[in-house]
Amino acid sequence: MARRGAFAPALLAALAAGCGVAGGDPADSRDERPNVVVLMTDDQTVESVRVMSGVRRTLVERGTTFRRSFVSFPLCCPSRATFLTGQYAHNHGVLGNRPPTGGYGRLDTEETLPVWLRRAGYRTMHVGKFLNRYGIDRPPTEVPPGWDEWHASVDPFTYEYYRTMLNENGTLRTYHSAYSTDLYARRAVELVRRAADGERPFFLSLGFLAPHAGGPRQADDPAGLATPVPAPRHRDRFAAEALPPGVRAAFDEPDMSDKPAYLRARAPISAELAAGVEENYRQRLESLLAVDEAVVQLVEALRAVGELDDTIVIFTSDNGFFHGEHRMESEKMLAYEPSIRVPLIMRGPGLPAGAKRHQLVTNADLAPTILDLAEATARKPQDGRSLLPLLADPRLDWSRDLLIEGADGFTVVAFEALRSPRFLYVRYVNGERELYDLRRDPHQLQSLHEDPAYEGVRARLARRLRALSACAGRSCHTRR
């Protein structure tokens, strides 16, 4: 049954004032606070949302889309740790997917978003993918602090579209024949129905594997490339789909002389590999169709139990992905736009419908936004900022730059980068640099790091990057 109804006017008033929901003792006002549902895909590009008609109908048309949304570290585990802490990676300490610098075991789980929300009176629930190496770094039956309901996939079975193993509140169970996206959707709907019977507002985190690569291998999978597994009902739905123009613009970049040495050394993409990249792209689109159905099912479940009008729904991804741009046939982890730019859509009571926001935002902003909505308090400095003022005022300018971090791994050299409204400046650990004027070169085809005409710009961006690379809390919020 619906628990509230007074939340939307309160949020509208708060947005108009440029702040969150009215403060006070959470125990006195909890019935007016919204539920929050976060839907996170894995390795999804902004462009691919076009095939998700359900997401566009239920979220884009009914909510607000942030057109320039970025992740601060374009790799699964560090990005998800940022979502859970509101901090850049240099502060939360998760710098990769595996030990010694990364993985589930690196995160201080004692003080994270679900802990803060539960302290504030929320019922907290998680379904699906969590952090890389969950179930490996520590016992697979462990339930992290802060979660009332825990239905997380256990590695390495997280990366199987069938044969998924879940830790369900401390008990391991393997679902041999269930397609993982459908399994997660069913479990999330069940949890929403149960939570709706209570008086506490709820927070639901739902992590999909798609469109990330995963097993089992299929007969038509391209050699040498890992691909996802679309649901059987969606197989070959995009069999004739070509790479979109935005990908083609930087595909197999012909002149890599402006790039760092390790990228210049990459061989051109052969015709056989190009065909494989295109097949991977098609399968990734197909895998998103089950996610699209899951989103609609969850929205309809919220509606059926009378909670939709009291729920903020957030749709995003942990990082983007390359489909041959800059000769990266299947990768992320770089500072270029396909890797760092992700979907971000918010729908809920009091939020503008069918609206767009063009300010720079980062995944470090998600935790502060959710805390603002929940009237909850973080016990770690928040490097991000609540997005509620931007929802209230489309012209608001925070005049901030965003930090992008990347560690050594796979085929990537560690870097720090600054993304401003116009420029991308990258500084690699080996001393190499890149500079792109995104207004003139949106696909990052010609670095200007040696162009004397940009000497002043380069110096200003380098100074600002030095400040951001060591920032914490409020010092991350404004340009310095």
Contact 4, 308 (CB under 8 A): no
- Phi/psi for 398 (5° steps) reads -80, -10
Q: Tell me, yes or no, whether 71 lies in a domain.
A: yes
Number of domains within the chain: 1
Of 338, 335, 382, which Cα lies nearest the Cα of 363? 382
Quick one: angle between helices 271-304 and 180-195, nearest 10? 20
In a domain, 377, yes or no: yes
The single-letter code of the amino acid at 138 is: R
The partner residues of 39 in beta bridges, in order of sequence, read: 206, 315
CB contact at 8 A, 277 and 268? no
The Cα 36–Cα 313 span in angstroms is 6
Can you tell me the distance from the alpha carbon of 192 to that of 424, in angstroms, rounded to the nearest whole number? 41
In a domain, 86, yes or no: yes
Q: Please return the burial class of 369, using the count of CB atoms within 10 Å of its CB with bins 0-12, 13-18 and 19+.
A: buried
Cα–Cα distances (Å) from 179 to 3, 162, 185, in that order, read 33, 5, 10
The full length of the chain comes to 480
How distant, in Å, are the alpha carbons of 23, 44, 384, 461, 469 from that of 70?
Answer: 29, 12, 12, 18, 16
Amino acid at 192: V
For the chain, 480 residues long, the average pLDDT of each consecutive 10-residue run is 48 52 44 92 98 98 98 97 98 95 96 98 98 97 98 98 98 97 98 95 98 95 96 97 97 97 96 97 98 98 98 98 96 96 97 97 98 97 98 94 88 93 97 98 98 98 97 91
> Residue 425: inside a domain, yes or no?
no
pLDDT recorded at residue 411: 73
82: in domain:
yes
In 3D space, the residue among 281, 208, 276, 296 whose CA is nearest the CA of residue 238 turns out to be 281
Q: What is the CATH number of the domain that holds 375?
A: 3.40.720.10
Instruction: List the domain range (segments joined by +) for residue 160.
Output: 7-15+31-398
Residue 268 included in any domain: yes
Considering the domain boundaries, does residue 346 fall inside one? yes
pLDDT at position 15 = 54
The 3-state secondary structure of the chain reads CCCCCCHHHHHHHHHHHCCCCCCCCHHHHHHHCCEEEEEEECCCCCHHHHHCHHHHHHHHCCCEEECCEECCCCCHHHHHHHHHHCCCHHHHCCCCCCCCCCCHHHCCCCCCHHHHHHHCCCEEEEEECCCCCCCCCCCCCCCCCCCCEEEEECCCHHHECCCEEEEECCEEEEECCCCHHHHHHHHHHHHHHHHCCCCCCEEEEEECCCCCCCECCCCCCCCCCCCCCCCHHHCCCCCCCCCCHHHHCCECCCCCCCCCHHHHCCCCCCHHHHHHHHHHHHHHHHHHHHHHHHHHHHHHHHHHCCCHHHEEEEEEECCCCCCCECCCCCCCCCCCHHHHECCEEEECCCCCCCEEECCCEEHHHHHHHHHHHHCCCCCCCCCCCCCHHHHHCCCCCCCCCEEEEECCECCECCEEEEECCCEEEEEECCCCEEEEECCCCCCCCCCCCCCHHHHHHHHHHHHHHHHHCCCCHHHHCCCC
> Does residue 476 belong to any structural domain of this protein?
no
The Cα 352–Cα 423 span in angstroms is 29
Nearest to 132 by CA among 272, 318, 280: 318
